[in-house]
Amino acid sequence: MVIGTPKKKVAPQFGIHLQPSGAILYETNTLNYFRLSGVGAELAMLMAQLQDMEKTAYVWSHMNGLEEGMTVEELRDMFADHPLTALWEKGILPSSIRITGSSQAYLPIRSTLQFTNSCNLSCPFCYASSGRPYEKELTTEEWILVMEKLAANGVFDITITGGEARLVKGFHRLLATASCLFINVHLFSNGLGWTGDDIAFVKQFNNVRCQVSVDGYEETHDKMRGKKGAYKETMSNARKIAEAGIPLIIAMTVSPINYLDVEKVAEEACAVGARVFRAGITLPVGRAGDGIFFLSKEQRERVKEQIDRAIKKWGNRIVIPDWREEDSNEHHKGGEADFCTPGYLNWYVRADGMVTPCQVEEASMGHILKDSILEIGAEERLLEVRAKSKSCYCIHRVELPEPDQPFRKLF
């Protein structure tokens, strides 16, 4: 799913991200990705360079020492299941493929950056237990170094969060830097305290999307946020963000307190001009770690019914993802969502610089500025964090293929 896709058709933009166990072929507009063998990665790079099947067959034959050579038909048969084959057959060839990553370590292509743990709220279900800043949070200059480091090593998609990210010192400079360094920037906010200048500033960047949290209809939202009038202010600012042309997502964290409000919040999201309404469960970490925010089976069924009705009513005006099993409590005890490979493709960088596989896991892989990126992504370090992980269940579900061919012979 692409948020804020331009009306004109966007040509696919591909990248290959090297890993010790193979490679990832990804498309930057859709975030779809495929795991490739070394052979498959070499073929993709050759096709992008040569722009011709016959030339590719010729070069492939010579680089692999095939005496009789390989025909185009044999090449097609050999790579019939390659994710780019259908495009090649239609004459659609990527003009270039961005090469990133490393065969020595698992480096991310997505990252979540917690600019600060400071927040203007203290919600009882906050996974980060936000409110007060950490004792030693990264400075503006340090965050810029972090973003440069990540971008130079293959990260193209980032999420900016907190606390409330806009409260960090130097926020405007940091957002501008992020927009310049990364292809996709997702800004998360509780929607409080936005000024006209804030909205006008974000509007300047065509690759920044904004996700605003709304956790129930007016009375419920205010109760959960602990602030009277929070709902009206948040929805008013959400409307202004959408009217400014900034792609807007309304996200609801569902719990036993607000699960009956899902359909109404979806309606309100549609009314203010959001492009997406997304409902997810409350993660059992941080201040929600005592489990009182878990949904029962019956409550999940009620949520699914509301989502189904919302899709029928407003699905032609707003994207509303189905409430699937990956959104259930069982998923977070063993499932793996699409594009969710924490540690191996996705890093969470805390406000104090510590790197973890995702926002719900405390086990550290290292410090983003004190350790080299190859040290943080080293296979042995990931395996150690994987063994220690208590909250990030997805990391245990990542299955990696055995390395088959070294990429070094291409370079």
Q: How far apart are CA 130 and CA 116, in angstroms?
A: 9
Residue with tokens 């507009």: 29
Please work out, in degrees rounded to the nearest 5, the angle formed at the alpha carbon of residue 398 by the alpha carbons of 47 and 291: 140
> Among 101-105, 179-183, 309-313, whose mean pLDDT is lowest?
101-105
Pair (81, 151) in one structural domain: no
Burial track 247-269 (b if 16+ CB lie within 10 A, e otherwise): bbbbbbbbbebbbbbbbbbbbbb
* Residue 167 in domain: yes
Q: Where are the beta strands (DSSP E) in 282-373?
A: 346-349, 354-356, 366-367
pLDDT at 101: 92
Q: How much is the average pLDDT of 11-22?
A: 80
User: For residues 120 and 110, what is the distance between their CA atoms, to the nearest angstrom?
Assistant: 27
Query: Higher confidence at residue 341 or residue 300?
Result: 300
CA 311 – CA 138 distance, rounded (Å): 42
pLDDT of residue 294: 83
DSSP of 59-116, one letter per residue? HHHHHTT-TT---HHHHHHHTTT-TTHHHHHTT---S-EEEEE-SSS---SEEEEE--
Same domain, 93 and 117: no
Q: Is residue 228 part of a domain?
A: yes
Judge if 183 and 271 occupy the same domain: yes
- 311 shares its domain with 201: yes
Give the domain CATH number at 276: 3.20.20.70
Q: Are 107 and 373 in contact (CB under 8 A)?
A: yes
pLDDT, position 82: 66
pLDDT in tens, 373-382: 999 999 999 9
Give the confidence band of 94 by pLDDT, cuts at 50, 70, 90: low
- Assess whether pLDDT exceeds 90 at residue 287: no
Token pair, residue 381, equals 């370090």
Same domain, yes or no: 88 and 161: no
Mean pLDDT to the nearest integer, 112-130 = 82
Beta strands in 118-207, from DSSP E residues, in sequence order = 157-161, 184-189
Has residue 125 been placed in a domain? yes
pLDDT band at 95 (very low <50, low <70, confident <90, very high): low
Which of 97-101, 158-162, 294-298, 391-395 shows the lowest per-residue confidence on average (mean pLDDT)? 391-395
Last residue of a domain, one of 274, 289, 315: 315
Let me know if residue 327 belongs to a domain: no
Look at the chain and report how many structural domains it folds into.
2
Residue 81 lies in a domain: yes
Report how far apart the first and last C-alpha atoms of the chain are (Å, whole number).
34
Over the chain, what is the mean pLDDT? Answer: 84
| Rounded Cα gap, residues 324 and 48, in angstroms | 37
CA 348/CA 368 separation, integer angstroms:
10
Is pLDDT above 50 for 41? yes
How many residues comprise the chain? 411
**Residue 97's pLDDT is what?**
79
Asked whether the beta carbons of 213 and 241 are under 8 A apart, the reply is no
93 pLDDT band (50/70/90 cuts)?
Answer: low
Same domain, yes or no, for 159 and 194?
A: yes
Between CA 303 and CA 295 the distance in angstroms is 10
3-state secondary structure of 187: strand
Report residue 317: phi and psi, to 5°: -115, -20
Are both 196 and 311 inside the same structural domain? yes
| pLDDT at residue 333 greater than cutoff 60 | no
| Mean pLDDT of the 124-143 span | 84
**Last residue of a domain, which of 77, 101, 125?**
101
Vertex 348, ends 216 and 262: CA angle to 5°?
Answer: 15
**178 and 257 share a domain?**
yes
130-160 in b/e form (b: 16+ CB < 10 A) is beebbeebbeeeebbebbeebbebbbbbbbb
Q: Are residues 64 and 132 in the same domain?
A: no
CA distances in angstroms from 233 to 167, 195, 228, 266, listed in the order given: 17, 11, 10, 17
Q: Which of 14-23, 86-95, 191-200 has the lowest mean pLDDT?
A: 86-95
What pLDDT sits at residue 263?
97
Asked whether residue 118 falls in the same domain as residue 222, the answer is yes
Of 101, 120, 144, the residue at which a domain comes to its end is 101
Residues 149 and 86 in one domain: no
Over residues 350-355, the mean pLDDT reads: 96
Non-local CB neighbours of 327 within 8 Å, separated by 6+ positions: 279, 280, 281
The range of the structural domain enclosing residue 124 comes to: 110-315
Tens of pLDDT along 204-260? 999 999 999 999 999 999 998 899 999 999 999 999 999 999 999 999 999 999 999
Q: Is the pTM of this model over 0.85?
A: yes
Q: Is residue 280 part of a domain?
A: yes
13-27, 69-83, 100-114: the lowest-pLDDT one:
69-83
Q: Are residues 118 and 72 in the same domain?
A: no
